[in-house]
Amino acid sequence: MVQAQEPAMATPTGYEGQMTLKECMEYAISNSTKLRIQQAAGNDARIARRDAALALFTPNISASTYAYYNFGRSIDPQTNTYFNTTSFHNNYSVSAGFDLFDGFKAVNNLRISKTGMLIAESQERQAEADICLAVMEAYYNVVYYKRLTDVYKEQVATAEQSLAKARRQEELGQKGHADVVQMEADLADRQYDLTNTYNMYQSHKMTLADLMFWPLDQELDIVTAIPLWEEEPVATQAVVDYALDHNPAVQIASWQEQNAKRELSTAKWQLLPSVGLYAGWSTSYYTYQGSQTAPFQNQFRNNGGEYVEMSISIPIWGRMSRASRVSKARNALTRASAELDQKRRDVESEVRRAIQDRDGAATAFQQAQRKAEVQEEAYTLNLKKLDQGLVSPLEFQTAGNNYLKAKADEMNSLFNYLIKQAVVSYYNGIEYINQ
């Protein structure tokens, strides 16, 4: 059998040698397109907060100018009489306005924009957590199949040695040909399993590289040592309480309910009159064919005028649009409250299920670990008996299969426990990348 060879390592700048799980998470976060999209949404939220603050604390200022020629009948600004001569008009103006009372719309918009920033930041943290968990699962899959590949390599090497010894014993008349054929079949099975396991290892390593956004032309090499198992007991209710107060999904739903309340308040206040204060200045210049008009500088100064205006807008009939906005805002609040209750229930169920799954995985690992120890001891004894001719190749093959299955179950249950434990720790306030 030709064994597959791994290509030479070449890692991006800043990452030399084998990468740990934390380094894989950091690389995935720094290169994730999903996180970049979420960060763009966070930037939008910051812009919205800035705009809301400016709308609340600063006036709206504008300036304008226009110029035109009139070729038909027009009014002489000096005599206020009609004339039919071509004329030129030029106007300049500056105005400023400030809403004294707009139904607290600007105030609520500023509060909503601040909450929107908190939502964007929580969504970014949630996206980071999702990326880290996906990387963790893919990383442990790679480690699992790499370690399983190593076990199969040992089995193949042992089977090759046993077959070579059996062939020699057949030549000396100490073993029958049927035993040799059985051992050849066992070696073929081991080689086939090794090839399949190695292919799975390469496939899951590619999955991990995709999640990390690792360069396609560079080999990803990670630490494949078996992590240590440590049981970390927690108080279920304490984890539930912490998650309900700090979990990003619950926080987002809570802030969305707050914003819905503010939207409803704004919609209700829009039924009242709005008050605004405005001021401005304007001037103009004109001339027409065949006339003697004052120079531009004199007209610019003499034609200037200022104004101050206070306006009150009273809503009387808007085709029920304001009432409809209030009803829609009230429905949005009902929907946001229901979504918050549902999210709190979902998170509490997820926490309790995660703790239960973690405890079950811990028990399964301890049992699998004990089974692996027993099967390894049985395999070692049967290997010695095979060398002494005390067991048949078929019996030895059965012992080898039991040992392989026990080792696979042990590693699988260990990684399953580690993932479940990481989820529980995350709900208890420890980010995946810091575990």
pLDDT tens figures, 35-90: 888 889 889 999 999 999 988 888 999 999 999 888 777 776 667 777 677 888 89
2-28 pLDDT, tens digit per residue, is 344 444 444 455 566 789 999 999 999
**Mean pLDDT computed over every residue of the chain:** 87
Q: Which pLDDT score is estimated for 8?
A: 41
- Say how far apart CA 199 and CA 210 lie, in whole Å: 17
Q: The whole model's pTM is what?
A: 0.77
Q: Which pLDDT score is estimated for 140?
A: 95
26-36 pLDDT, tens digit per residue, is 999 999 888 88
- Say how far apart CA 278 and CA 288 lie, in whole Å: 33
- Say how far apart CA 194 and CA 152 lie, in whole Å: 5
232-250 pLDDT, tens digit per residue, is 788 899 999 999 999 999 9
Comparing CA positions, the residue from 24, 22, 151, 138 lying closest to residue 410 is 151
Rounded percentage of the chain residues whose pLDDT exceeds 90:
46
168-195 pLDDT, tens digit per residue, is 877 777 677 887 788 888 888 889 989 9
Token digits for 119?
């939502």
Q: Given 3.40.190.10, 3.40.50.2300, 1.20.1600.10, 3.40.640.10, which CATH number is that of 102-272+315-434? A: 1.20.1600.10
129-175 pLDDT, tens digit per residue, is 999 999 999 999 999 999 999 988 988 888 888 788 778 877 777 67
Cα–Cα–Cα angle for 418, 373, 146, rounded to 5 degrees: 50
The C-alpha R_g of the chain, in whole angstroms, comes to 39
Q: Which pLDDT score is estimated for 192?
A: 92
